[in-house]
Amino acid sequence: MTPAADPTGILGDGKRLNDILALAGTETATFILRQMQTDLDGVAAGLSAALDSRDWTAIRTQTHVLISLAGTIGADRLHAAAIEVNTAAHDREEDRVASRAAPLLADLAHLRAALAAHKNPGSAAP
């Protein structure tokens, strides 16, 4: 898999994601990327709705997915933001959740775009 340029730096140096995809091989890596995109699309929709309604359990559920996925693939800034929002939701600190929601959602959008930009080896880079 060939990473596209990541102007947001959401994946840091990209090494963790690239290592996972290289170990998986081309066919499996394509499946993994698609699954991550599907999972993150669901998190984006679920988290936005949960933030709007201040559904603390749903916020924690969605940020838990982000903590796991972002940490695994090297999206460390998103990982840290998800931990912060998860903790604030656990404590039901509405102001703290609200102040951290926009940066988290922006980084989530950046991660989704970065994953969508990955191409199979041999295909033209975006």
* Confidence tier at 52 by pLDDT (50, 70, 90): very high
pLDDT at residue 5 tops 60 = no
Residues 22-54 as b or e (16 or more Cβ within 10 Å = b): eeeeeeebbebbeebeeebeebbebbeebbeee
pLDDT at residue 3 tops 70 = no
In a domain, 3, yes or no: no
In a domain, 9, yes or no: no
In a domain, 105, yes or no: yes
In a domain, 26, yes or no: yes
In a domain, 22, yes or no: yes
Mean predicted confidence (pLDDT) in 75-100? 97
CA dihedral 26, 32, 37, 43 (to 10 degrees): -170
In a domain, 50, yes or no: yes
pLDDT at residue 63 tops 50 = yes
Mean predicted confidence (pLDDT) in 36-54? 97
For the chain, the domain total comes to: 1
Which CATH number characterizes residue 57's domain?
1.20.120
Tell me if 121 sits within 8 A of 30, measured CB to CB: no
Indicate the pTM of the whole model.
0.87
Domain that holds residue 35: 15-116
